[in-house]
Amino acid sequence: MTFSEGVQLVSFIILTAIVLGGAAGVVLLRSMVHSAFLLGLVFIGAAGLYVLLNADFVAAAQILIYVGAVNVLILFAIMLVNKRIPTDRPVFSPRNAVTGLVCAGLFALLAVCIFQVPWQIQEPVAMNTVIEIGKRFFSEFLLPFEVASVLLLLAMVGAIILAQREYIPDRAEGEPEPLALPERPRDEVDTTPTGRR
Amino acid sequence: MNIDLAALNAGALWPEYIVTITLVVVLLVDLISGRKASWSLPYLTLLGLGIATATLLPMWILENPVSFLGSFTADPLSVVFRAFILISAALTVLMSVRYINQSSLATAEFYVLLLGATLGAMLLSGSSEMAMIFVALELLSITSYLLSGYAKLDKRSNEASLKYLLIGAASSGIFLYGMSLLYGFSGGQTQLTEIAPRIVDLGFPALLSLVLVVAGICFKLSAVPFHQWTPDVYEGSPTPVVAFLSVGSKAAGFALAIRFMTSAYPGFSEQWQTLFVLLAILSMVLGNVVAIAQTSMKRMLAYSSIAQAGYVMIGLAIGTQEGYSSMILYIGTYLFMNLGAFMAVVLFSLRTGTDEITAYSGLYQKDPFLTLVLSLCLLSLAGIPPLAGFFGKLYLFWAAVQSQAYTLVFFGLVTSVASIYYYVRVVKLMLVKEPSPQVLGYSEAGDQDGIQTLKAGMLITTVATVVLGILFPPLISLADTSLRATPSLQQVRTATPVSRVSTGAEAPADHGR
């Protein structure tokens, strides 16, 4: 084993430990804030694994998007909601046992699958990944790349529509509720008007 | 790397460009002229959809369907499904005008999101490469989530949107897992047809990816057991959105299912056909049985749409030429009868503010036109003889008998008989019973702008439901031609000799109505 292979092996072990430990912590910890921070750690660990696979651009994008945007958003959401979760629930409940069983089954299936497939191993080639990705985007992945821009535009329009504050005029008795379905709710027992402000 | 622009064959996507342009124009018109021009937006949208349909028709059979270096395949199969999606989007616009006005929802953004969903669905029915499939699927899904939560001050709409988002995201993840396995198995291929020869000998791992992919697709089709979101989302979303989800988005899902299965898994046809046999039987049985117990019209139509998806899956499960062609025909007839039923539901709920089934009783005395439309559409969904739905089902079952799928035919027939009960119950309520309080207070006095377009849509769908039944034989040959000219379906062709029927004259006949 050469020196570089040794370094790679050690860093692989460390990164895997970070990812696995972090993921277990996300699921098992009771506090949502702790889980969210550990999720960030898992993302960073995965970015490290991408670096080991010579995918430097993907690693940078992973840190920027997942840690920088997604995870921060999750933290914001948690802090805004600020909901206390009862901490006395046992970790080993029947429900968690079933979930664990399903996950173990899925893991076994995937593990069997991984060892059965004759994977085609690619020799590492020195190349500038950013340039390569750019070339792909403007050749074989041109259409998905362009459609993604439409997707982003629509997501933005939709987000604005959802977040925009509505000006609701006073309505006369008997007029339809604004910004609600015209069908009345089925159980009229619930007398509070549906979803006011 | 030099790219020859002609090699992109970008002209095959003109209908999609026009939909995108319409989307931007609607957004800009709203931005510049604001409220003054908001009445014109639905008609602008209709115009765009019409032009897109007009550009789609000449592409019926292209010399070279492969476009954007294999990302998109504009073969006749995709043309048929894109036409279905465009028509269902146009009919959805017709029924939204009054609905949007009356619930004072934002006008422009609704049509923009609807056009986005249309674009995603159209791209999905032609994508033949995994990155493209995923982007198109997400475009369709994200706009659908937004549309279903569009009545944002209504808790039911919030719930619908959130449920749809969560379950949709989970199913996207499953689908993505299946696709990433395929990417790895095939040594880094993303083209479906390139993947097929590389996974033929894999056995179990390929089947695992097959199961994951089918699960992801079946969420879009809302096939049992991936249907749990359907009733709640259908109940809580604005009704025009439900209409589009139940027809346009489902048609795209079926196009994706046909293409994915026949292009990437031709070596496992027995396995995926067995899967779809199971899914079809479960959907037909559960959809029809649970629909009987519903008291809300929208929920009943939700379960009915699950059952109808089960019937369509018969065609996919038998996997013959006749199977696919009967699938296409059934989706074509389902489009009109289901949208017609939803239009009637929209009109009724706008006038009475309810969608309880019992509220429909005695409607005949107040509004014969609405009663006629709803009755014809429901009877057609039930498969009563002179209407289009009957011939669609007949052809499906005939195709299944041809390939000796007697179990499927048995379940199909038994559940059809059960379905007649709940469809006819509504018809009987409207015709025979005494008027309900809601119907007694029913008046057309409050009708304002937008009711005319809704009525026009009802007329179109009803006429189509009646006339398509008479025109069935030419439609069958049309569907057959479109399948014969689709390269990815060539390996499933039956022993019948290939005869390319000239289609120039027939193509407009399908889309004209």
Q: Name the region of B242 (left: φ>0; alpha: ψ -120 to 50; beta: rest).
A: alpha
- Flag whether residue A110 sits within 8 Å of chain B, measured between CB atoms: yes
Residue B221 lies in a domain: no
- Position B377 in a domain: yes
Cis peptide leading into residue B385 (ω within 30°):
no
Residue A163 contacts B where some CB pair is shorter than 8 Å: no
CB contact under 8 A, A143 and B71: yes
Put simply, whether B159 touches A (Cβ < 8 Å) is no
Residues B239 and B314 in one domain: no
Same domain? B103 vs B240: yes
Do B6 and B115 lie in one domain? The reply is: yes
Look at residue B354 and tell me if it is in a domain. Answer: yes
pLDDT confidence of residue B90? 95
Cβ distance of B72 and A195 shorter than 8 Å: no
In Å, how far is A134's CA from the nearest CA of chain B? 12
Is B186 inside any structural domain?
no
Same domain flag for B232 and B380 = no
Instruction: Judge whether B422 lies within some domain.
Output: yes
Same domain assignment for residues B307 and B387: yes
Residue B497 backbone phi and psi in degrees, to 5: -65, 145
For the record, the structure tokens of B329 come out as 């025909």
Per-residue burial over B445-466, b = 16 or more CB atoms within 10 Å of its CB, e = otherwise: eeeeebbebbbebbebbbebbb
- Pair (B330, B467) in one structural domain: yes
If asked whether residues B373 and B509 sit together in one domain, one would say yes
pLDDT score recorded for residue B103: 83
For residues B378 and B461, membership in a common domain is answered with: yes
Which three-class secondary structure state does DSSP give residue B67?
strand
Q: Check CB contact of B131 with chain A, cutoff 8 Å.
A: yes
Flag whether residue A116 sits within 8 Å of chain B, measured between CB atoms.
yes
Query: Do B393 and B513 belong to one domain?
Result: yes
Enclosing H/E stretch for B410:
helix B406-432
Please indicate, yes or no, whether residues B382 and B300 belong to a single structural domain of this protein: yes
For residue B35, what are its two tokens? 């409220």
- For residue B4, give the H/E element and its range: none
A117: closest CA of chain B, how far (Å): 7
Query: Do the Cβ atoms of B238 and A112 come within 8 Å?
Result: no
Which tokens in the block code for residue B495? Answer: 């022993």
Same domain, B243 and B377: no
By the 10 Å C-beta count (0-12 exposed, 13-18 middle, 19+ buried), B425 is classed as: middle
- Phi and psi dihedrals of B329, rounded to 5? -65, -40
CB atoms within 10 A of CB A92: 8
Task: Say if residue A169's pLDDT is above 90.
Answer: no
User: Which structure tokens are listed for B287?
Assistant: 């959809």
Is A142 in Cβ contact with B69 (below 8 Å)? yes
In this complex, is the C-beta atom of A109 within 8 Å of any C-beta atom belonging to chain B? yes
H or E stretch including B73? strand B72-73
Q: What is the mean pLDDT of residues A172-186?
A: 68
Partner-chain residue, chosen from B116, B239, B353, that has the shortest CB–CB distance to A150: B116
Asked if the C-beta of B187 comes within 8 angstroms of chain A's C-beta atoms, the answer is yes
Q: Indicate which of A121, A161, A183 best probes the interface with B, i.e. most B CBs within 10 Å of its own CB.
A: A183
Residue B197, domain member (yes or no): no
What's the confidence (pLDDT) of residue B353? 84
Residue pLDDT, tens place only, A51-84: 998 888 999 999 999 999 999 999 998 888 877 7
Q: What is the pLDDT of residue B36?
A: 85
Beta bridge partners of B127: B72
How many domains does chain B contain in total? 2
Is residue B183 situated within a structural domain?
Answer: no
Residue A182 Cα, gap to closest chain B Cα (Å): 5
Element containing residue A108 per DSSP (H, E): helix A94-116
At residue B118, the pLDDT reads: 96
Quick check: bond before A193 cis, omega within 30?
no
Distance CA A12, CA A52 (A): 8
Q: Which of these, B430, B453, B454, B432, lies nearest to B442 by C-alpha position?
A: B430
pLDDT values of chain B reduced to their tens digit, one per residue, 513 residues:
555 777 788 888 999 999 999 999 999 999 998 888 888 999 999 999 999 999 998 887 777 888 888 899 888 889 999 999 999 999 999 999 988 888 888 889 999 999 999 999 999 999 999 999 999 999 999 999 999 999 888 888 999 999 999 999 999 999 999 999 999 998 888 999 899 888 888 888 999 999 999 999 999 898 888 888 999 999 999 999 999 999 999 999 999 999 999 999 988 988 999 999 999 999 999 999 999 988 899 999 999 999 999 999 999 999 888 899 999 999 999 999 999 999 999 999 888 888 888 888 888 888 889 999 999 999 999 988 888 899 999 999 999 999 888 999 999 999 999 999 999 999 999 988 888 888 887 777 656 777 888 999 999 999 999 888 888 788 888 888 878 877 767 655 443 333 333 333 333 333 333
pLDDT confidence of residue B447: 61
In whole angstroms, give the CA distance from residue B464 to residue B468.
Answer: 6
CA distance B239 to chain A (A): 8
Residue B441 in any domain: the answer is: yes
CB distance from A136 to chain B under 8 Å?
Answer: no
* Whether B321 and B422 share a structural domain: yes
Measure A142 CA to nearest chain B CA, in Å: 7
A143 and B132 Cβ atoms separated by less than 8 Å? yes
Contact A116 B203 (CB under 8 A): yes
Sketch out chain A's domains with CATH numbers.
Answer: 8-83 (1.20.120.1200), 128-168 (no CATH)
Q: B459 lies in which domain range? A: 288-513
User: Residue B67's closest chain A neighbor by CA?
Assistant: A143
A157-194 per-residue burial string, b: 16 or more CB within 10 A, e: under 16: bbeebeeeeeeeeeeeeeebbbbbbbbbeeeeeeeeeb
Q: What angle do CA A104, A108, A110 make, to 5 degrees?
A: 115
ipTM score for this prediction: 0.88
